[in-house]
Amino acid sequence: MKNLTIRLADKSEIDKAFSLLRGAAIWLRDKGIDHWQNWINPSDLYSNWIKEGFDSNQFYFVMHDSQAIAMFRLQWTDELFWGIRDENAGYIHSFTIDRIFKGQGIGCQILKMIEDLCRQNNKQYLRLDCGANNQGLCNYYEKQGFRSIIDVNVHGEQLRLFEKRL
């Protein structure tokens, strides 16, 4: 898809973030995938995690013309999921695309844009996590050049950590 841009999310747009997460969770549930279900009706723990990201200017929207069609959170450290690491990396969370744009190769385009953003900030790695039992998504990230590092448990969720050298 042409004309995609990334912009920092404004704190007033937090409802759009929750809407994108909820939409992705419902789509996963309808496909029989038990992942991200906490976003259908998020607890305070999850809601506060999103609010902290917005307060720290870590959320970005991907725009097509004037419409926010995707989002992600980009952090420069991630002790909760990755522990303390010496490597210089960017960490992606909450990467989601509005389901009406499914199957158009947008995810790959956005990952490349995030890689560029990380390079501009002198990062050597791009890291992310996904549900360890979501084999389709794990395979997708491997096809995008990420390698599986380890499975971890964060807040009761089994996650697989991936990284890509930039």
Write the CATH number for 63: 3.40.630.30
Handedness of CA 35, 51, 47, 155 (dihedral sign): positive
**Does the pLDDT of residue 128 top 80, yes or no?**
yes
pLDDT band at 34 (very low <50, low <70, confident <90, very high): confident
pLDDT in tens, 129-149: 999 988 989 999 999 999 999
pLDDT of residue 31: 87
Query: Residue 106 has what pLDDT?
Result: 93
Q: Cβ of 85: how many Cβ atoms within 10 Å?
A: 14
| Torsion of the alpha carbons at 118, 159, 57 and 122, rounded to the nearest 10 | -20
Question: Is pLDDT at 1 greater than 80 in this prediction?
Answer: no
pLDDT confidence of residue 20: 95
Statement: residue 5 has pLDDT above 90: yes
Nearest to 9 by CA among 52, 46, 62: 62
Give the closest residue to 4 by CA, choosing from 91, 95, 106, 90.
106
The chain-wide mean pLDDT, for the chain, equals 93
Q: pLDDT-based confidence at 116, cuts 50/70/90?
A: very high
Domain count, the chain: 1
What three-state secondary structure class fits 142?
Answer: helix
Report the amino acid identity of residue 114: I
Distance CA 138, CA 84 (A): 23
Q: Is the Cβ–Cβ distance between 85 and 47 less than 8 Å?
A: no
Q: How far apart are CA 110 and CA 12, in angstroms?
A: 23
pLDDT of residue 87: 82
Domain span at residue 131 reads 4-165
pTM above 0.85, yes or no: yes
- At 57-90, the pLDDT tens digits run 999 999 998 899 999 999 999 999 999 988 899 9
pLDDT (0 to 100) of residue 74? 98
d(CA 129, CA 148): 9
State mean pLDDT over 96-115: 92
Is the pLDDT higher at 129 or at 34? 129
Of 93, 91, 80, 111, the C-alpha closest to 163 is: 91
